[in-house]
RNA sequence: GGACAGGUGGCCGAGUGGCUUAAGGCGCACGCCUGGAAAGCGUGUGGUGGGGCAACUCACUCGCGGGUUCGAAUCCCGCCCUGUCCGCCA
């Protein structure tokens, strides 16, 4: 969310960012509405507050006269009149304020200077690690997984629906191994605090990280309560300190959480439906960082490296892609996607998305810190990234490490947790 | 799910319609005192929004949202959360 003052002080920046997001045309009416509402709001506040000041003075005088046993009927009548006018203006003000909230909640974040202009086609691969295996002769992961008895997609579809996975035997154990390896690495080597959080959250949390109000159709909602299944641990974890003021010494602070993630994928029917490529429920380890505005750029690189290290330990070839302005998510100011090579399907699969949100989420979730005792609170910056998302990593593991006899080697880092070196 | 008791500033805690612009204490900051410290004394100490270059000033803020009233921390209604007991339950 932007500061309300964006409509007075940062209009050029706002319009330029929306242009780079390729949304200026569709958002111009919204921006114009914001400008008008802001100016109406301030005029109304001035009117209502001067009336309130008069009302307060009047009430004080009534009190004084009553104590002095004097008559105050004329003042009480005057107060009644002021009160009526206040009520009318306050109604108008409430309408203006909720209008402004509506506008602010629907405007995406500014984007950073260095993003390429353009849409998805302008995304820029910044580096590639490892040697992508030739696609020829490699079977897709769903065949490998089924043959090895690790994956049971038909039964997943039966008990929940298409896009829900059943892992079996060493497949199930592999999921558990990844939870441990990923979380342990972030805790022991990267200094994150491990947290275990609810995966059902309230509306305020979903609004704090920007899933609501704009993307309601992407998530699962409970029927009897105003609560939602999280699409990512970003939601509960970023909201941990919602409406709090942190000490400066607390920053920077990293959190790591494993959670299942639930996504309706309403807009992606028919895309990437095979195997583990796009599913409604999946497991993910998420890393979230809180920091000061001064350090967020460096923190973004740090966080992204924390995700990359896991891919390197797993020995999976990957590339880092800087998303163009037009492909960058609603709340993000800058995003690097990490994509892993899956030779069986012949595609680079997004296994992590590492973003800096600048103060956008912090303002929505009211996450602040006090730079020094006695100073005014400031909004923090928030960042997050997958570290990592399981199903696509499993797909890449199965395809990349597939051997000619149909068995699959297991990277050394997973072996102690999994108990075997080869799946056969 | 039911019954009862609660929710006041960084913390404790008073306050049942107007001498409360939230008493008092603790903590914290600064000053006085001191050779230095402690104690003591004094002053200050939240957040949001509006106006103003600023000093400053106005409004709002006693869990949240409505209502009654000239005036609400205080009265009424709804909700949320916490505690205790009961019921149910992995």
**Helix, strand, coil percent values for chain A (each to nearest 5):** 45, 20, 35
Q: Which of A62-71, A111-120, A348-357 has the lowest mean pLDDT?
A: A62-71
What pLDDT, on a 0 to 100 scale, did the predictor assign at position A86?
Answer: 92
A261 & A177 share domain: yes
A176 & A304 share domain: yes
Neighbouring CB atoms inside 10 A of A203's CB total: 15
Among A44, A71, A106, give the residue marking a domain's end. A106
On the question of pLDDT at A237 being above 90, the answer is: yes
A window 64-83: Cβ near strand B (< 7 A): 66-67, 75-76, 79-80, 82-83
Domain count, chain A: 2
Helices assigned H by DSSP within A68-140: 73-106
Helix A170-188 to helix A296-314 angle (10° resolution) is 140
How confident is the model over A287-332, as pLDDT tens digits? Answer: 999 999 999 999 999 999 999 999 999 999 999 999 999 999 999 9
On the question of pLDDT at A18 being above 80, the answer is: yes
ipTM for the whole complex: 0.87
Among A81, A106, A131, give the residue marking a domain's end. A106
Q: What is the dihedral of CA A5, A9, A11, A16, to 10 degrees?
A: -110
Residue A377 lies in a domain: yes
Confidence of residue A167 (pLDDT cuts 50, 70, 90): very high
A23 & A125 share domain: no
What pLDDT, on a 0 to 100 scale, did the predictor assign at position A373?
Answer: 75
How confident is the model over A398-422, as pLDDT tens digits? Answer: 999 999 999 999 999 999 999 999 9
Structural domain including A40 reads 4-106
Interatomic CA distance for residues A148 and A420, integer angstroms: 14
Confidence of residue A12 (pLDDT cuts 50, 70, 90): very high
% of chain A beyond a pLDDT of 90: 84
| DSSP, res A214 | T
Residue A248 lies in a domain: yes
On the question of pLDDT at A260 being above 90, the answer is: yes
Report DSSP letters for A233-295, one per residue: THHHHHGGGTTEEEEGGG-SEEEEEEEEEE---GGGTTSS-STTSS-SEEEEEEEEEEE-GGG
Q: In terms of Cα–Cα distance, which of A329, A320, A313, A271 is closest to A110?
A: A329
Cα A119 to Cα A115, A266, A327: the distances in Å are 11, 21, 5
Report DSSP letters for A152-188, one per residue: -HHHHHHHT-TT---B-THHHHHHHHHHHHHHHHHHH
On the question of pLDDT at A374 being above 90, the answer is: no
CA diameter of chain A:
103
Nucleotides of B under 7 A from a protein CB: 18-19, 28-29, 47-51, 58-60, 66, 69-71
A23 & A78 share domain: yes
What pLDDT, on a 0 to 100 scale, did the predictor assign at position A177?
Answer: 97
Average pLDDT, stretch A54-69? 87
Domain holding A10: CATH number? 1.10.287.40
A261 & A145 share domain: yes
A22 & A127 share domain: no
Residue A112 lies in a domain: no
Among A106, A129, A148, give the residue marking a domain's end. A106
Residue A111 lies in a domain: no
What pLDDT, on a 0 to 100 scale, did the predictor assign at position A60?
Answer: 86
Domain holding A400: CATH number? 3.30.930.10
A403 CB and strand B closer than 7 A: no
A386 & A256 share domain: yes
A350 & A205 share domain: yes
Cis peptide before A388 (omega within 30 of 0): yes
């Amino acid at each position: 969310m932007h500061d309300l003052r964006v409509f007075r002080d940062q209009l050029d920046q706002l319009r330029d960012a929306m242009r780079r997001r390729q949304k200026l045309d569709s958002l111009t009416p919204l921006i114009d509405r914001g400008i008008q509402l802001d100016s109406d709001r301030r005029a109304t506040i001035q009117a209502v507050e001067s009336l309130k000041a008069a009302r307060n003075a009047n009430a004080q005088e009534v009190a004084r006269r009553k104590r002095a046993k004097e008559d105050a009927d004329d003042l009480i009548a005057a107060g009644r009149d002021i009160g009526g006018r206040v009520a009318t203006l306050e109604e108008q003000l409430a309408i203006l304020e909720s209008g402004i909230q509506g506008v602010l909640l629907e405007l995406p974040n500014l984007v950073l200077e260095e993003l390429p202009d353009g849409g998805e086609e302008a995304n820029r691969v910044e580096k590639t690690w490892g040697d992508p295996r030739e696609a020829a002769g490699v079977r897709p992961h769903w065949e490998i997984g089924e043959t090895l008895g690790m994956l049971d997609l038909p039964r997943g579809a039966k008990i929940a629906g298409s896009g829900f996975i059943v892992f079996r035997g060493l497949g199930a154990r592999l999921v558990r191994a990844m939870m441990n390896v990923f979380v342990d690495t972030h805790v022991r080597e990267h200094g994150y605090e491990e947290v275990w959080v609810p995966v059902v959250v309230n509306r305020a949390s979903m609004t704090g990280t920007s899933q609501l109000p704009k993307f309601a159709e992407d998530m699962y909602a409970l029927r009897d309560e105003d609560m939602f299944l999280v699409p990512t641990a970003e939601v509960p974890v970023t909201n941990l300190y919602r409406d709090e003021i942190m000490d400066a010494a607390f920053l920077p602070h990293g959190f790591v959480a494993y959670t299942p993630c639930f996504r309706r994928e309403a807009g992606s029917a028919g895309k990437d439906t095979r195997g583990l490529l796009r599913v409604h429920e999946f497991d993910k380890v998420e890393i979230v960082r809180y920091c000061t505005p001064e350090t967020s750029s460096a923190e973004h690189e740090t966080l992204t490296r924390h995700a990359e290290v896991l891919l390197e330990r797993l020995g999976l070839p990957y590339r880092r892609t800087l998303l163009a302005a037009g492909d960058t998510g609603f709340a993000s100011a800058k995003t690097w996607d990490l994509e892993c090579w899956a030779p069986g399907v012949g595609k680079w699969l997004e296994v992590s998305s590492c973003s800096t949100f600048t103060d956008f989420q912090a303002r929505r979730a009211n996450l602040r810190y006090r730079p020094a005792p006695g100073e005014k609170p400031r909004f923090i910056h928030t960042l997050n990234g997958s570290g990592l998302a399981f199903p696509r990593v499993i797909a890449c593991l199965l395809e990349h490490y597939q051997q000619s006899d149909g068995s699959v080697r297991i990277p050394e880092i997973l072996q102690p947790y999994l108990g075997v070196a080869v799946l056969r």
